[in-house]
């Protein structure tokens, strides 16, 4: 396995689309792989740690800017994430929600209460 991080360019994608991009890409990577996600999304430093905590991936924080040069508010920033061995699945349409767990032998619309049976 390479020590080089996998780079994902999130461009100007916002919260949900950025998380879908990250989720889909990390699903193809080996556990322990470090990902560098670059984005201009100003909410990324809030969303990424929460998403990582929810899914089991490890949020490593912002990647240091070489030279410590101050960045403009709309500058591209890079954040590091380490891929988990057994991440928690998220909802396909809503990556900020865990996937719904269904009982294996019951349809999704089955009643949740067994009272009166």
All domains of the chain, ordered by start, with CATH? 6-82 (3.30.110.40)
Cross-strand pairs, 77: 39
6-45 residue pLDDT tens:
999 999 988 889 999 999 999 999 999 999 999 999 999 9
Asked if residue 34 lies in contact with residue 52, where contact means CB atoms within 8 angstroms, the answer is no
Helix (H), strand (E) at residue 97: none
Helix (H), strand (E) at residue 17: helix 15-26
pLDDT computed for residue 15 by the predictor: 80
* Residue 37 exposed, middle or buried by CB count within 10 Å (0-12, 13-18, 19+): buried
60-98 residue pLDDT tens:
999 976 555 555 566 889 999 999 999 998 888 888 788
- The sign of the CA dihedral 37, 1, 58, 22 is positive
């Amino acid at each position: 396995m390479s020590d080089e991080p996998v780079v994902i360019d999130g461009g100007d994608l916002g919260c949900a689309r950025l998380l879908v991009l990250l989720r889909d890409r990390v699903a193809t990577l080996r556990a322990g792989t470090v990902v560098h996600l670059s984005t201009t999304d100003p909410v990324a430093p809030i969303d990424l740690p929460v998403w990582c905590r929810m899914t089991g991936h490890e949020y490593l924080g912002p990647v240091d800017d070489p030279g410590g040069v101050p960045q403009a508010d709309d500058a591209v920033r890079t954040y590091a994430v380490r891929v988990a061995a057994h991440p928690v699945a998220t909802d396909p349409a809503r990556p900020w929600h865990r996937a719904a767990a269904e009982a294996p032998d019951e349809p999704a619309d089955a009643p949740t209460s067994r009272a009166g049976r």
